[in-house]
Structure 1
Amino acid sequence: MRDIGVRRVDYGFFVRPAEETGTGRARVEPAFGYLIEHPDAGVLLVDTGMGAHPEVDAWYRPVRVPLGKALAEADGDVGRVKVVVNCHLHFDHCGGNAELAGRPVFAQRAELALARAAESHTLPELVDHPGARIEEIDGEAEVFPGVRIVPTPGHTAGHQSVVVRRRDGVVVVAGQSHDNATLFTSDVLGRHAGVGEQPAWLGLLMALDPKQVVFAHDNAVWTPGSSHVSLP
């Protein structure tokens, strides 16, 4: 029997302006989604790419890979996607949702409330587009056997990650729980050392003993620390 597959989908990149990086310098970041292919239940897609809007384009200067092309390059197909999970509803994570109209989209109640507020943090037309089929959840939810949504609030109040229990270990698709693997590492080590403040959900994720944690805006993959490493 085949294991559950997890493959990265490359939607292009954008420029995060200096005002948002905390470093005083602009930073180029990738925009990734993840295909989760269950041998029995079908294909789940985490995040759908970057949406377009004149103000967004002027601020972030995105270079997009269209949904169909991005999926094809990851050996996927739009027609095979059965379920969508957006880690949150910013433009760079739900931009292709409308191309998957009719497919259930799982989102946290808190995230939908933010997206639909008068002072929205996203582009509303990317969320409640024609044919949108939103499955509103409040907490954890098992979407496929061995594939579970876990709330990981912080970047937004309704941010969520996807935990995949493979035979060879747990993979966490952490979206933008952290901007990159280095920040995730810092929080994990800080938790062990009792230094700083880490999100309450971090203990839950680490209790799953993840083999890998992957992110929406970083090529790097977090793996647990080990003393059994071959060094040159």
Structure 2
Amino acid sequence: MALPPHAIVPLNLGHIWLADMSLGIPVHGFLIKHPGGAGLVDTGYGTPLELIKDYRPVNASVAEELRKHDVDPSDVRWVINSHLHFDHCGQNAVFPQAPFYVQRAEYERRHRYADTPAQWLDFAGAHYELLDGEREIVPGVRVITTPGHTPGHQSVAVDTTAGPALLTGDACWTVKMFEGEAPLEGMMEDIPSFGQSLDKLRRLRPAAIHFCHDNRTWRPSG
């Protein structure tokens, strides 16, 4: 199944400050308007903001962002978490009706992430679907294993009428990094694996790439 490119809708889920890099970055999730029901990739960070105050977060509601696109949170049928850092899973509790698709390797080490409050993950009714590798979640939407940032990191590929669109999560942060114009720097648990995952994404010859921490969308030139 191929979706129209506009079925992938970026959501503005706030802004955080990385003190060790002296860098402010946006935070995005992505609504996927699928014929089988709305889906979501990453949920941003949660509340209270005091729990992550060192990151200087600004208030951002995934529910409000969805409603801007005529989608109620209760309409979301499934959620994919690229990984379980606080800025990618912090509002999971807004979707108690939805399964959360995450790699088993990621879920089993979730409490090692000191900056991810346990209450944002282990809330009453949370249902995690644990994956052991790549899988189609719904027709035309599949997860791709991209370890490096974390061992259980996954990205998302969406079949569109223009070609494959990638939602990288933290497997690639910016347009410049994807194009090889920026060094491989930032938070990576395994630098060689990160580089291999980035090459894997490039080999897919995507028609579009959507980033969690870059406001731009990459498309091939020419």
- What TM-score range do you get, normalising by the shorter chain? 0.7 to 0.9
CA distance 1:139–1:66, change in 2 (3 Å) = same
The one-letter amino acid of 2:15's match is F
Q: CA deviation at 1:31?
A: 0.8
Correspondence list, 1:6-45, <5 A: 6-17=8-19, 19=20, 21=21, 26-39=22-35, 41-45=36-40
- AA at the equivalent of 2:209: V
User: In structure 1, what is the equivalent of residue 3 of structure 2?
Assistant: 3
Which has the larger displacement, 202-211 or 76-85? 202-211
Gaps in structure 1 of 5+ consecutive residues: 191-195
Residues 96-115 of structure 1: matches in 2 within 5 Å? Answer: 96-115=91-110
Q: Equivalent residue for 1:57? A: 52
AA aligned opposite 1:80? D
Amino acid at match of 1:186: G
Alpha-carbon spacing, 1:134–1:186, altered in 2? closer, same or farther (3 Å):
same
- Within a 5 Å distance, the mapping from 1:96-135 to structure 2 comes to 96-117=91-112, 120=114, 122-135=116-129
- How many angstroms apart in 2 are the aligned matches of 1:55 and 1:69? 20
Matched, 1:91 2:86: yes
Normalised to the residue count of structure 2, the TM-score between the two structures is: 0.86
The offset of 1:95, in angstroms, is 1.2
What percent of counterpart residues are identical?
Answer: 37
| 1:121 CA drift (Å) | 5.4
TM-score by length of 1: 0.82
Structure number with bigger Rg: 1
CA distance in 2, matches of 1:210, 1:161: 13
Change (3 A) 1:2 1:210: closer
In structure 2, runs of 5+ residues without a counterpart are 185-190
Alignment of 1:1-232 (within 5 A): 3-4=3-4, 5-17=7-19, 19=20, 21=21, 26-39=22-35, 41-52=36-47, 56-117=51-112, 120=114, 122-186=116-180, 199-224=195-220, 226=221, 228=222
CA 1:121–1:58 in 2, change beyond 3 Å: closer, same or farther?
closer
Which amino acid is the alignment partner of residue 98 of structure 1?
Answer: A
Instruction: Please tell me whether the aligned partners of residues 115 and 121 of structure 1 are also in contact (alpha carbons under 8 angstroms).
Output: no
- Asked if structure 2 preserves the Cα contact closer than 8 Å seen for 1:32 and 1:215, the reply is yes
Q: With a CA cutoff of 8 Å and minimum separation of 6, indicate the structure with the bigger relative contact order.
A: 2
Q: Give the Å deviation of 1:207.
A: 3.1
How many residues are paired up?
A: 213
With 169-178 and 202-211 compared, the bigger mean Cα shift is at: 202-211
